[in-house]
């Protein structure tokens, strides 16, 4: 949306957006694209120009099996600024999709929730709200070693004074933490309201428990790690699995000269780029350091907030009925093309597509 607006405001700007799926802008308009357009023939041919989508068609001298070089595409567009503009039907489909951005409520992707936290945890998240994401992920990805730490809660003890504070989640993070089941260790001192008789209070308290546990896991992992070997780092193991899955080692036998050389290069790259990755242990080290120097400003903000808490957002968006899903799919993707206009199913087409799917 923003790129379209920029290209319209500044006519000399031409934008291209793509991801691992290729020219994903075209996905929205797949049903109304010209017959020649396909994922293979459209690579590096879709551009945003003057607030509209342009699609460069093959010329008789162009090899359709090769992507069009970006400089060549830009040159063509500048020579003929409107020649490659997509049809009104294509533009309307894309603009309809973008309307969701325009009509969305302010901060649509953010969920604000009152949470009851130990004072030290509340102070930490108030001063450094970016830690909410790390705490949620650490909690949701906990393993047996992490669970041991949650039985002691050395850094964020539940018996500490607890305060209510506003916490901002992305909707994704909020859904993750809400749907992750956890029963607190009550013998540690977690006092949780009854879920049935006091649902809102229960929600505030159980979310506080989960965030505190996430911060506890981060701090414990950092303290436990010390100066670990590379092979012991979860981030390295995940990186290595990714390389193996992508064929980096080219079927070389582990221990062979070429495998060893490739592994050495991978280790050097990982070590040289660790600062790019906010691993749990790195974030945990930040948590430990920040706890040594609590923010006075955050403490004052928490005090002032007690009488001015903003209400929690409704989270009914977490639940969706079958009818809601049907309506959403209908709005997003249009009528099912397996049905004829008179409502009858095209049996031959259905059978063919089902056969292709099973194959």
Buried b (16+ CB within 10 A) or exposed e, 103-136: eeeeeeeebebbbbbbbbbbbbbbbeeebbbbbb
Predicted pLDDT at 201: 96
Predicted pLDDT at 319: 87
Which regions of the chain does DSSP assign to beta strands (E)? Answer: 14-15, 46-49, 52-55, 110-118, 162-170
**176-180, 250-254, 285-289, 352-356: range with lowest mean pLDDT:** 352-356
Res 72 pLDDT > 50: yes
Residue of 85, 110, 125, 77 whose CA lies nearest to 298: 125
Sign, CA torsion 141/146/150/151? positive
More confident residue, 208 or 251: 208
The mean pLDDT of the chain is 84
- Would you say 207 and 115 are in contact if contact means Cβ atoms under 8 Å apart? yes
Predicted pLDDT at 341: 46
Give the pLDDT mean for 162-181.
Answer: 95
Predicted pLDDT at 76: 92
Res 358 pLDDT > 60: no
Residue of 146, 311, 305 whose CA lies nearest to 221: 146
Res 82 pLDDT > 60: yes
Give the pLDDT mean for 73-90.
Answer: 92
Tell me the per-residue pLDDT of 331-342, one tens digit each, with 9 for 90 and over.
Answer: 666 554 444 444
Give the pLDDT mean for 186-214.
Answer: 93
- Would you say 221 and 284 are in contact if contact means Cβ atoms under 8 Å apart? yes
In 3-state terms, the chain is what percent helix, strand and coil (to 5)?
55, 10, 40
Tell me the per-residue pLDDT of 255-278, one tens digit each, with 9 for 90 and over.
Answer: 999 999 999 999 888 877 765 555
Predicted pLDDT at 173: 95
């Amino acid at each position: 949306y923003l790129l379209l607006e920029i290209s319209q405001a500044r006519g000399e700007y031409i934008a291209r957006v793509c991801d691992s799926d290729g020219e994903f802008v075209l996905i929205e308009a797949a049903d109304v694209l010209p017959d020649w357009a396909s994922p293979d023939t459209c690579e590096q041919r879709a551009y945003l120009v003057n607030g509209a989508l342009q699609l460069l068609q093959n010329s008789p001298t162009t090899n359709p099996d090769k992507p069009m070089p970006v400089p060549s595409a830009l040159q063509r567009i500048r020579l003929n600024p409107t020649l490659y503009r997509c049809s009104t039907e294509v533009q309307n489909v894309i603009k309809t999709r973008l309307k969701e951005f325009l009509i969305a409520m302010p901060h649509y992707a953010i969920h604000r929730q009152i949470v009851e936290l130990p004072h030290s945890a509340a102070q930490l998240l108030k001063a450094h709200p970016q830690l909410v994401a790390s705490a949620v992920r650490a909690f949701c990805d906990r393993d047996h070693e992490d669970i041991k730490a949650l039985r002691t809660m050395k850094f964020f003890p539940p018996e500490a004074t607890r305060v209510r504070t506003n916490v901002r989640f992305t909707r994704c993070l909020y859904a993750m933490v809400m749907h992750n089941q956890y029963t607190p260790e009550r013998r540690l001192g977690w006092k949780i309201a009854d879920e049935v008789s006091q649902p809102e209070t229960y929600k505030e308290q159980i979310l506080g428990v989960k965030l505190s546990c996430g911060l506890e896991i981060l701090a414990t992992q950092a303290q436990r790690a010390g100066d670990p070997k590379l092979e012991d780092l979860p981030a390295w193991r995940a990186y290595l699995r990714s390389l193996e899955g992508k064929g980096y080692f080219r079927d070389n036998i582990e221990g062979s000269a070429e495998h060893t050389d490739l592994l050495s290069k991978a280790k050097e790259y990982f070590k040289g780029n660790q600062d790019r990755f906010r691993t749990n242990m790195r974030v945990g080290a930040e948590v430990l350091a920040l706890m040594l120097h609590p923010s006075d400003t955050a403490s004052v903000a928490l005090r002032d907030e007690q009488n001015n808490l903003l209400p929690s957002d409704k989270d009914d968006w977490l639940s969706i009925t079958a009818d809601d899903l049907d309506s959403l799919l209908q709005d997003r993707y249009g009528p099912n093309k397996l049905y004829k206009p008179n409502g009858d199913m095209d049996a031959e087409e259905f059978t063919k597509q089902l056969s292709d799917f099973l194959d």
